[in-house]
Amino acid sequence: MKLSLIAVASTVVALSFAAYAEDMSGMKMDAAPMTQQAPVARAAGTIKAIDGEKHTVTIAHGAVPVVQWPPMTMGFRATEAQLAGVKVGDSVNFEFQLAGSTATLVSIDVAK
Ligand SMILES: [Cu+2]
């Protein structure tokens, strides 16, 4: 963890590391360091709602230890193509990236 923090710090030398550390103070300490590209997490769940206007899909998902989530029902940002491939009630396996409190789908597949 320390080594990866040092690696991240060295990539943001153009920025103030003090400000960076301050931004991170509200985050869980064992969460991955925030970089331009958040790590991709995987989860499984059931589609509860689809909003084609807001481009969100509400999924009741299981626990996601990598981001310290218990099972919950929540919205994910999704592309039109991702929304077109699923319907309410589908069991899905999906990948997402978390940026702050916004979770964005990377991929979503209906479980066979
Ligand atoms: Cu969640």
Task: Look at residue 112 in the predicted model and tell me its pLDDT.
Answer: 79
Task: Look at residue 36 in the predicted model and tell me its pLDDT.
Answer: 56
**Domain at 40-110, CATH homologous superfamily:** Copper binding periplasmic protein CusF (2.40.50.320)
Output the CA 13–ligand 1 centroid distance in Å: 33
Q: How far apart are CA 2 and CA 47, in angstroms?
A: 38
Segments of the chain with pLDDT less than 50 = 1, 5-6, 8-22, 24-27
Q: Domain residue spans in the chain? A: 40-110
Output the CA 95–ligand 1 centroid distance in Å: 12
Q: How far apart are CA 51 and CA 91, in angstroms?
A: 17
CA 33: distance to chain centroid?
Answer: 13
The neighbourhood of ligand 1, an ion, using CB within 5 A, equals: 69, 72, 74
Output the CA 6–ligand 1 centroid distance in Å: 29
Q: How many CB atoms sit inside 10 A of residue 107's CB?
A: 13
CA 24: distance to chain centroid?
Answer: 17
Q: How far apart are CA 109 and CA 86, in angstroms?
A: 8
